[in-house]
Amino acid sequence: MSSVFPLSGESTASREFAIDVVRQLRAAGAVAYWAGGCVRDLLMGQRAKDYDVATSAPPEHVRTLFGKKRTLSVGASFGVIVVLPTVPGAEPVEVATFRTEGPYHDGRRPSQVTFATPEEDARRRDFTINGMFYDPLEQRVLDFVGGQADIEVRRLRAIGDPLERMTEDKLRMLRAVRFAATLEFELDPQTRDAVRQMAGEIQVVSAERIAQELRRVLAHPQRARGFELMSETGLLPVLFPELTNETQPAAAVLAVLPKCARFELAAAAMWHTLPATPHEPRTRQEAAGTVWDIARRLKLSVHEMQSIAWLVSHQNQWHTAILQTDAQLKRILAHPLATDLRHLVRALAASRGASQLSSDFIDAYLAEHSHEQIHPPELVSGRDLIESGLRPGPRFKEILDTLRDAQLNGELRDRETALERLRKMIAPA
Ligand code: ATP
Ligand code: MG
């Protein structure tokens, strides 16, 4: 259960501070260990992202010990106190009192917590690899749940009865996928079956928490494995019913995901077969079944939504590049996401063995046109329109767009000609 195991790892300010927090708790007569993710990461020989401490000291004692000013009570009802660092460059340490949780009534969070023993605290955690403690003073691992053995064989396994654990907190299903994918662990068959059985209930979890997990899976180099696991466990069709019956696109998605190194790009790859418009639909009906619909449902940020919808909606324009006017092409190529779109379209075409003709055409176009030619400074601005007596509105924008198109198409080369054209446009008929 407890084994001496000096964990290597460079001495960082955060690590020193996290040792110090344990030392102080211990000096005050409490039991205190590092817990959870940091123990897992260190046992795997990786750098710990942050250090969490679990202790027998109740939250009030933790606050008294470290001082009100140096602590934040973030989850007092869960017994979690953040201790702010005294060491420059160190991260805050979360100190949580050993607890049990339950019962879970809503499949999301426990109705109450009770302070408990270290072993009970280990057992309320989600996966064996996340359920270990480490005593940094005596260099001992405390493993009540078989986490070390699972790290050894690279297996992600729920603590206790997988079905019960997924029923208590449905987010654990997505966490299972994320940890298995990102750590490159096998998903233990019973844990996988439990996720499969419960997948339909992932919906009870808040959009924000689902989106947060998706971001972490899709931003990770192992995102294709994450996608595959979501598909195998049945989470994918529940999260995105819009994607069902698309076996062919799923294969294309799997093939391109390794190259989609950002969340927005990966999401665009995942949803590339769905309808999207460059502009946000005004009503729910208009958005139904589209990329916008999913993005809104997940409560993605406006920037994320716009980026994903732009990428998905401009694929077609890319395919028909040869038929586009210079202005149309330049507008796409001047967009901040143009390079991402370029990679996405190429990768998708490659995965299907489709022609790269339009991408080749665009690459040649890019080679022949300077940035200045693709994205030249505007010849006329809104100010010019106002000075000509126009007021901002739809007509205003239309005129600006027409002038810009003419400029990009090479019809207007200098400001004088552009102003001349403006005068003609607004002259009374
Ligand atoms: P990372 O921060 O790298 O995602 P982590 O293991 O630190 O991994 P956190 O979400 O920070 O994950 O949670 C810290 C610890 O709390 C976990 O290691 C696990 O022991 C426990 N935990 C977190 N979320 C849950 C959950 N939904 N159910 C049960 N235990 C959980
Ligand atoms: Mg963590």
Task: Compute the half-sphere exposure of residue 413: CA atoms within 13 Å on the CB side of its CA.
Answer: 1
Rounded to 5°, the CA angle 355-342-258 comes to: 90
* Ligand nearest to the CA of residue 41, numbered in listed order: 1
Q: What is the pLDDT of residues 102-134, one digit of tens each?
A: 788 888 888 777 889 999 999 999 999 999 999
* CA–CA gap between residue 117 and residue 100 (Å, rounded): 8
Band of pLDDT at residue 18, cut at 50, 70 and 90: very high
Ranges of beta strands (E only) in 290-374 are none
72-76, 318-322, 418-422: lowest mean pLDDT where? 72-76
Q: Separation of 232 CA from ligand 1 center, angstroms?
A: 23
Angle formed by the axes of helices 171-183 and 223-232, to 10°?
140
Is residue 171 within 6 Å of ligand 1 at its C-beta? yes
Higher pLDDT, 3 or 411: 411
Is residue 178 within 6 Å of ligand 1 at its C-beta? no
| Per-residue pLDDT at 426 exceeds 80 | yes
Is residue 110 within 6 Å of ligand 1 at its C-beta? no
Percent of the chain with pLDDT over 70: 98
| Per-residue pLDDT at 316 exceeds 90 | no
* CA–CA gap between residue 81 and residue 73 (Å, rounded): 5
* Closest residue by CA, ligand 1 atom 8: 37
**Cβ–Cβ < 8 Å for 396, 385:** yes
Is residue 36 within 6 Å of ligand 1 at its C-beta? yes
Percent of the chain with pLDDT over 90: 82
- When the pLDDT of each residue in the chain is averaged and rounded to a whole number, the result is 93
Q: What is the pLDDT of residues 216-245, one digit of tens each?
A: 999 999 999 999 999 999 999 999 999 876
Looking at the DSSP assignment, which residues form a beta bridge with residue 55? 32, 97
pLDDT at site 94: 97
Whose tokens are 């201790």? That residue is 83
Band of pLDDT at residue 335, cut at 50, 70 and 90: very high
* CA–CA gap between residue 296 and residue 283 (Å, rounded): 12
Higher pLDDT, 412 or 103: 412
Q: Which two tokens stand for residue 143?
A: 């493993």
Domain-by-domain residue ranges, the chain? 1-147, 154-239, 265-372, 382-426
Residue 425: Cβ within 10 Å count: 15
- The alpha carbon of residue 280 and the mean position of all alpha carbons in its chain are separated, in whole angstroms, by 21
Domain 1-147 identical in fold to domain 154-239: no
* Closest residue by CA, ligand 1 atom 6: 37
Out of 88-92, 142-146, 258-262, 379-383, the most confident range is: 142-146
Architecture of domain 1-147: 2-Layer Sandwich (3.30)
Closest by CA to 168, choosing from 213, 238, 105, 98, is 105
Looking at the DSSP assignment, which residues form a beta bridge with residue 35? 52, 133
* CA–CA gap between residue 292 and residue 124 (Å, rounded): 37
Q: Please state the rounded mean pLDDT for residues 329-349.
A: 94
Band of pLDDT at residue 378, cut at 50, 70 and 90: very high
Answer whether the bond into residue 103 is a cis peptide, omega within 30°: yes
Q: Which of 125, 169, 206, 214 to mutate to test the pocket of ligand 1 (most atoms within 8 A of CB)?
A: 125
* CA–CA gap between residue 143 and residue 118 (Å, rounded): 10
Q: Separation of 49 CA from ligand 2 center, angstroms?
A: 7
Q: What is the pLDDT of residues 123-164, one digit of tens each?
A: 999 999 999 999 999 999 999 999 999 999 999 999 999 999
Q: What is the pLDDT of residues 177-221, one digit of tens each?
A: 999 999 999 999 999 999 999 999 999 999 999 999 999 999 999
* Ligand nearest to the CA of residue 75, numbered in listed order: 1
pLDDT at site 233: 96
Is residue 172 within 6 Å of ligand 1 at its C-beta? yes
**Cβ–Cβ < 8 Å for 351, 256:** yes
Is residue 37 within 6 Å of ligand 1 at its C-beta? yes
Radius of gyration of the chain, Cα coordinates, nearest whole angstrom: 28
Q: Separation of 50 CA from ligand 2 center, angstroms?
A: 6
Q: Name the CATH topology of 154-239.
A: Hydrophobic Seed Protein (1.10.110)
Is residue 169 within 6 Å of ligand 1 at its C-beta? yes
First to last CA, the chain: 90
Q: Please state the rounded mean pLDDT for residues 288-309.
A: 95
Q: Which two tokens stand for residue 255?
A: 């093939």
Q: Check residue 141 and report its DSSP letter.
A: E
Closest by CA to 295, choosing from 314, 276, 282, is 276
| Per-residue pLDDT at 1 exceeds 80 | no
Looking at the DSSP assignment, which residues form a beta bridge with residue 315? none
pLDDT at site 246: 64
426 Cβ contact list (under 8 Å, min separation 6) = 388, 389, 390, 399
Rounded to 5°, the CA angle 190-191-196 comes to: 95
